[in-house]
């Protein structure tokens, strides 16, 4: 009898299992942080633009009067081809394109310093996607946030930068 039990025990160890294999668990889908349409439409308000650090411009005869939270100046020749608006491109929540300008004194450069570009980007991400505090810091510190910032700081002075309709929340 012992021999039979021992044989059954060994057979059960060597026999293939007929139980269902465990299903692989899929990683949860990345959470999307969508742009808040009302926040995008609020960008036509000059006070909102100013608070975020974006420029407003008035045009005179041969010059532009530019104001931001850091600037209040007249430049000549007038600024041409600037865009700060929504619905500029498919998949774009908001476009910012500012050409380099000729400052009083003749120097042609970006309207913003590197620190100002950082602040404008942070303000825009916070405003458009309705993020604050740790949630904003997490997005800005994530791989996508860093990559977008690199494109932003060059793009606003050249061909333009489009904020996407949604961001992927970092894990």
Provide the pLDDT for residue 14: 53
Is the predicted pLDDT of residue 68 greater than 80, yes or no? Answer: yes
Q: Please, which pLDDT band fits residue 75 given cuts at 50, 70 and 90? A: confident
Q: Which residue has the higher pLDDT, 112 or 82?
A: 112
Query: Is 39 among the domain residues?
Result: yes
Q: What average pLDDT does the structure give for the chain?
A: 84
Q: What is the pLDDT of residues 128-163, one digit of tens each?
A: 999 999 999 999 999 999 999 999 998 988 888 999
Angle at 145 between CA 139 and CA 151, to 5 degrees: 160
> Diameter of the chain by CA atoms?
110
Query: Is 5 among the domain residues?
Result: no
Is the predicted pLDDT of residue 48 greater than 80, yes or no? Answer: yes
Q: Please, which pLDDT band fits residue 11 given cuts at 50, 70 and 90? A: low
Query: Is 11 among the domain residues?
Result: no
Provide the pLDDT for residue 19: 58
From the list 134, 70, 143, 74, the residue with the least C-alpha distance to 103 is: 74
Query: Is 10 among the domain residues?
Result: no
Query: Is 18 among the domain residues?
Result: no
- Residue 124 sits in which domain range? 29-54+80-168
Query: Is 162 among the domain residues?
Result: yes
CA dist 1 and 52 (Å) reads 86
Q: What is the pTM of this model?
A: 0.78
Query: Is 6 among the domain residues?
Result: no
From the list 113, 45, 116, the residue with the least C-alpha distance to 84 is: 45
CA dist 116 and 16 (Å) reads 66
Overall domain count for the chain: 1
Query: Is 22 among the domain residues?
Result: no
Q: Helix or strand or coil: residue 51?
A: helix
């Amino acid at each position: 009898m012992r021999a039979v039990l021992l044989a059954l025990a060994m057979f059960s160890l060597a026999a293939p299992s007929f139980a269902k294999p465990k299903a692989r668990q899929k990683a949860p889908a990345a959470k999307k942080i969508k742009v808040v349409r009302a926040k995008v439409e609020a960008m036509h308000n000059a006070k909102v633009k100013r608070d975020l650090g974006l420029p407003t411009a008035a045009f005179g005869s041969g010059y532009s009067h530019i104001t931001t939270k850091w600037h209040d100046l007249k430049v000549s020749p007038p600024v041409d081809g600037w865009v700060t608006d929504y619905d500029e491109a498919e998949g774009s929540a908001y476009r910012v394109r500012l050409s380099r300008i000729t400052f009083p004194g003749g120097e042609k450069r970006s309207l913003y310093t590197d620190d100002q570009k950082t602040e404008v980007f942070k303000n825009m991400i916070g405003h458009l996607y309705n993020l604050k505090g740790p949630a904003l810091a997490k997005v800005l510190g994530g791989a996508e946030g860093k990559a977008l910032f690199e494109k932003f700081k060059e793009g606003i002075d050249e061909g333009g930068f489009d904020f996407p309709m949604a961001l992927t929340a970092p894990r």
